[in-house]
Structure formats: structure tokens, C-alpha cells
């Protein structure tokens, strides 16, 4: 499939994990991909591997995000935005610090707001475009993740509002909500609770109906579908990619 031939794509948090798999999938289908990430070295490595371009971007910075969108839209077009940048700062509510709260809200909610706002300015002008925001099953609540759950639930509301406001300009916005995906993020959780990553994945898999944890490519495939014309009449939706209902 070459569903993104001639299209320009921006993936925030595109250096690693789900973002890198998404950047690779969209590039393999013909897209010109800009990989925007805090981690410039990793962004450059990913971009070189997929034949894209890298930009250093902290999504909490309006100037960085606007520069990343401008770089992706250099040709005058921006067809797809995928917002994958994310962090966790897990703690039970009585131990959660202001910093834990602010950092997570700033990265996920403010970061996605800034990217969506900058992208819509280009997309509404051209009369087309598609955004996919990355939420989580934690949007439904998860012990130790008050900050992350609040941010990920907020992204679902943001997605629906973008869909309502931007539909008349031919711009779609959808959301994926992954479950356990094997990335540096889940590895960080395993380290925090003192489990090997293999044991952590095996324990998690026992609770998942499909009896395995997800891989970044499992999410990338759904994101690619939502960005593509195969989903031309789908907007404002949240698709859980979690190996179960
Ligand atoms: P990951 O491998 O850690 O990738 C996240 C990327 O975002 C990293 O390259 C990270 O850079 C970058 N990033 C962090 N803060 C940033 C900022 N301020 N500006 C720009 N880039 C920033 O994690 P992942 O698992 O692929 O997560 C991708 C998205 O999926 C996140 O939104 C996450 O919340 C969501 N998600 C993940 C899972 C899961 O189980 N893995 C489940 C549900 C949802 P650094 O490494 O330098 O911090």
C-alpha cells in the first residue's frame, strides 16, 4: 500500500517507540516524514533509517512546536499530524508532587494542544488533513497515574472537539488509546517496580485477552489507517488498541 504518496507528515515523539514505528509505517507507504523529538540524536537516527527529516522539538514549547510544523509544512502542505510525545511520572495521589503533575500535563495536554493548533492553521487553509492523538487505556483510570490518566482523558475530549470544529474544513481528528505496549515507557515502569522487563511483560500478558503485550507496530497500523483515506468518513473517534475490549 502507498496510501501516503506525496504527503507530508509530522510525528511528535517520533524518535522512539510508538512514534518511531508510526513514522516508519507512514514512510513505508510513501510519506515524507518529519520526526520531531526532544531526543535529537534518536530523532536523527530514526529519520535516517526511514528516509525522513529530524527536528529537535520540546512539545511543551510553543516556539519549538511552531518551528516543527513549519519545517514539516515547508512545501506548503501538511497532510498528517501524529502526536506521540509522552512521559510518565507515576506516583500515588498522596505522594504526587506539583512537578509530577505539571510535567505530565504539560507534555501530553499542552504539547498536543500546541501541535494541533499549529497544524490546523495549515490544514484548514489547504482544506484537508488528518490528526491522530495518542491517548491510553489509562484515560479510564489507573492506580499511580492521576496525572497521566487526567491528561489522557483530556486528549479524548480534545480529539472530539477538534473533530467538531475542523470537520467543515475537511480536517479529521481521531485518537488511539493503547494498552500495554513494549517500549522504553513500559520498561521504565518495570524498573520502577523492580521487575525484569521480561517478567513484567509476561505478567501483563496474562491479563490481556489476546494473551500478549502490544508492539509499537500494532499501534502504528491503526494510526496509519486513521490517517489514511480508508478512514475518510471517520472523525472524533477513540480506538482502543489494547488486545482486549
Ligand atoms: P517512548 O518510547 O518513551 O517514546 C516517547 C518519545 O517522546 C520519546 O522519544 C521521548 O523522548 C519523547 N518525548 C518526551 N517528552 C517530549 C517532549 N517534551 N517533546 C518532544 N518529545 C518528547 O514511549 P511510547 O511508549 O512510544 O509512548 C508514545 C505515546 O504513547 C505516549 O504519548 C504514551 O503516553 C502513549 N502510550 C504508551 C503506552 C505504552 O504502553 N507504551 C500505552 C498507552 C499510551 P525522551 O526519551 O528523550 O523522553
Task: Kindly give the distance from the C-alpha atom of residue 168 to the centroid of ligand 1, in angstroms, as a whole number.
Answer: 31
Q: How far apart are CA 118 and CA 189, in angstroms?
A: 32
Tens digits of residue pLDDT in 68-90: 999 999 999 999 999 999 999 99
Q: How far apart are CA 163 and CA 235, in angstroms?
A: 6
The alpha carbons of the chain give a radius of gyration, in whole angstroms, of 17
| Grid coordinates belonging to 120 | 490546523
Measured from the CB, is residue 52 less than 6 Å from ligand 1?
Answer: no
pLDDT of 224 over the 90 cut: yes
Strands of the sheet containing 80-83, edge to edge, are 53-56, 32-37, 8-12, 80-83, 129-134, 171-178, 238-241
Measured from the CB, is residue 243 less than 6 Å from ligand 1?
Answer: no
Residue range 164-181: average pLDDT? 98
Q: Is 148 a catalytic residue?
A: yes
The 3-class SS string of 130-189 reads EEEEECCHHHHCCCCEHHHHHHHHHHHHHHHHHHHHHHHHCEEEEEEEECCECCHHHHHH
What pLDDT band is residue 1 in, cutting at 50, 70 and 90?
Answer: confident
Handedness of CA 81, 22, 18, 236 (dihedral sign): positive
Tens digits of residue pLDDT in 105-134: 999 999 999 999 999 999 999 999 999 999
Nearest CA to ligand 1 atom 46: 39
pLDDT of 98 over the 90 cut: yes
Measured from the CB, is residue 87 less than 6 Å from ligand 1?
Answer: yes
What pLDDT band is residue 243 in, cutting at 50, 70 and 90?
Answer: very high
CB atoms near residue 70 (< 10 Å):
13
Question: What's the CATH number for 8-179+216-240?
Answer: 3.40.50.720
Contact present, 167 and 127 (Cβ < 8 Å): no
Q: Which atom, in ligand 1's list, is nearest to the CA of 21?
A: 26
Task: Kindly give the distance from the C-alpha atom of residue 87 to the centroid of ligand 1, in angstroms, as a whole number.
Answer: 5
Residue range 145-173: average pLDDT? 98
Which one is catalytic: 38, 113, 148, 200? 148
Give residue 17's pLDDT. 98
Measured from the CB, is residue 149 less than 6 Å from ligand 1?
Answer: no
Q: Domain extents for the chain?
A: 8-179+216-240, 182-213
Which of these, 109, 91, 86, 79, lies nearest to 9 by C-alpha position? 79
**The model's pTM:** 0.98
Amino acid at each position: 500500500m502507498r496510501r501516503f504518496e506525496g504527503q507530508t507528515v509530522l510525528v511528535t515523539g517520533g524518535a522512539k517507540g510508538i512514534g518511531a514505528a508510526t513514522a516508519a509505517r507512514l514512510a513505508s507507504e510513501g510519506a515524507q516524514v518529519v520526526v520531531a523529538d526532544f531526543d535529537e540524536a534518536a530523532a536523527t537516527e530514526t529519520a535516517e533509517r526511514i528516509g525522513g527529516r529530524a527536528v529537535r522539538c520540546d512539545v511543551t514549547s510553543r516556539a519549538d512546536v511552531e518551528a516543527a510544523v513549519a519545517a514539516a509544512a515547508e512545501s506548503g502542505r501538511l497532510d498528517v499530524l501524529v502526536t506521540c510525545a509522552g512521559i510518565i511520572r507515576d506516583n500515588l495521589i498522596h505522594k504526587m508532587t506539583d512537578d509530577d503533575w505539571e510535567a505530565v500535563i504539560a507534555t501530553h495536554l499542552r504539547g498536543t494542544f500546541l501541535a494541533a493548533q499549529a497544524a490546523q492553521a495549515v490544514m484548514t487553509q489547504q482544506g484537508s488533513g488528518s490528526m491522530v492523538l495518542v491517548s491510553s487505556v489509562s484515560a479510564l483510570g489507573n492506580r499511580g497515574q492521576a496525572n497521566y490518566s487526567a491528561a489522557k482523558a483530556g486528549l479524548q475530549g480534545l480529539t472530539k472537539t477538534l473533530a467538531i470544529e475542523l470537520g467543515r474544513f475537511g480536517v479529521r481528528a481521531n485518537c488511539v488509546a493503547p494498552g500495554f505496549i513494549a517500549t522504553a515507557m513500559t520498561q521504565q515502569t518495570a524498573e520502577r517496580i523492580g521487575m525484569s522487563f521480561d517478567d513484567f511483560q509476561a505478567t501483563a500478558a496474562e491479563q490481556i485477552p489476546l494473551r500478549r503485550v502490544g508492539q509499537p507496530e500494532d499501534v502504528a497500523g491503526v494510526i496509519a489507517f486513521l490517517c489514511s483515506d480508508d478512514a475518510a468518513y471517520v472523525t472524533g473517534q477513540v480506538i482502543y488498541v489494547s488486545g482486549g475490549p
